[in-house]
Amino acid sequence: MRLHADLALAAGATEETFHDLLRGLAEFGLPRAWAAAAALFPGSAAD
Report how far residue 23's alpha carbon sits from residue 47's, in angstroms, rounded to the nearest whole number.
20
- pLDDT at residue 27 tops 80: yes
pTM: 0.44
Report how far residue 26's alpha carbon sits from residue 3's, in angstroms, rounded to the nearest whole number.
17
Mean pLDDT of the chain: 79
Report how far residue 31's alpha carbon sits from residue 16's, in angstroms, rounded to the nearest whole number.
20
Q: What is the pLDDT of residues 31-40, one digit of tens each?
A: 887 887 788 8
**pLDDT value at position 44?**
64
* Domain boundaries defined on the chain: 2-40
